[in-house]
Chains A and B, each alone.
Chain A
């Protein structure tokens, strides 16, 4: 078991968005979060990734097991593709970036500044970062934005390889990734009653 979420309540600012979220993510499993815009998928993912504390509930996982990829790719326009990737590899304490470059067909672009890439190529570089983190649980927020069909297939292949290696992934997405083994979790069922938290100061804490 890689990740166990029990009775989780999350807020976006002062607004309570989700309550009573419980699910488990086993080794080698992919869970796809579904739900209408604004239901709280991003908030849930950021909470699980540790970027914000939960209001209630527990998140159990091995320490340092998450690799988070949000809406922004975190690329530096003036650094080359290889330099961007190498930086993240060093930060996460890994060395080899060639496998990640190959998986997303970025090898021919390795020397190009990231600012010169198209939106889809940038996204591929952002996803290639996941491979160099060496972390078992990928938390992905709309990973396929601006990807074309081939790139989505590339991404699905990378996810399959990751699951096979004993990793797991939690994805918020609206499109069909072609991952038949993925379990769908409808976040809409956990929607909280629109409850403003009473204490005004909490917004600033």
Chain B
């Protein structure tokens, strides 16, 4: 399993691996928002937590179809399925590799981009904490969506339609943590809800992903 993780990370770093794609998208979205909204710093700082969370979510979505589709195309997925690795382990490692290459860079870039959106200073810590706790759920749910659409040509749109509704709880609670933090309010309750959603998806969804993947490989 560690070999699979190392391979996926190595593939992401090599040419054409798509590392940084989500990060670049996130950067562009956040940089463009002030142009669209206009130079009103008060308005910007009040919408900053929501924009940052939405940008991170869309950036995550961008690379989801690569999680399993590439391995399916070149036949690696068949070979992995017949290898000693359990299917649940394969999808968990795939989700972890996606989070390390997409989610983690977004978490690290968010505070820098928060400055561009005039995020209040007290809002940085809750923003980072909420993204750190929330983005793993995005990767795990996304892997489930990728497993559902793995055999389909041009399955990207269907994948987005399937996955976006499942992202809503994470978005609501994650943005709520960031917003409350930015306004200097107590944010423990939404943070616990967010952590709960993430833990729940990590615990349950790999089994669902493995089951649909087995069906899709038939």
Do A and B make up one complex? Answer: yes
**Footprint of B on A, CB under 8 Å?**
46, 49-53, 64, 66-76, 78-79, 83, 87-88, 90-93, 129, 133, 205
Known contacts A52-B217, A90-B3; is A73 also within 8 Å of B82 by CB? no
CA distance A74 to B74 in the complex (A): 5
Kindly report which residue of chain B lies nearest to residue A133, judged by CB atoms.
B83
CB < 8 Å A-B pair total: 73
Q: Once the chains bind, are B82 and A87 in contact (CB under 8 Å)? A: no
Interface SS, B side:
helix
The listed residue (B2, B78, B80, B85) touching A72 by CB distance below 8 A is B78
Query: Are B82 and A76 interface neighbours, CB within 8 A?
Result: no
Inter-chain CA distance A74–B4, complex, in Å, is 13
- Cα-based distance from A53 to B10 in the complex (angstroms): 34
Given contacts A72-B74, A90-B3, contact A51 B82 (CB under 8 A): yes
Q: How large is the interface on B (under 10, 10 to 19, 20 to 34, 35 or more residues)?
A: 20 to 34
The answer to whether the Cβ of B40 comes within 8 Å of any Cβ in the partner chain is no
Pairwise interchain contact A70-B11, C-beta atoms closer than 8 A: no
B interface residues (Cβ-Cβ under 8 A, vs A): 2-4, 7, 10-11, 14-17, 71, 73-76, 78-85, 215, 217-218
Secondary structure dominating the interface of A: loop
Q: Once the chains are docked, how many angstroms separate the CA of A67 from the CA of B2?
A: 21
Quote the shortest CB–CB distance from B216 to chain A (angstroms): 11
Task: Tell which of A52, A73, A78 touches B75, judged by Cβ atoms closer than 8 Å.
Answer: A73
Query: Known: A52-B218, A91-B83. Is A76-B75 also a contact (CB below 8 A)?
Result: no
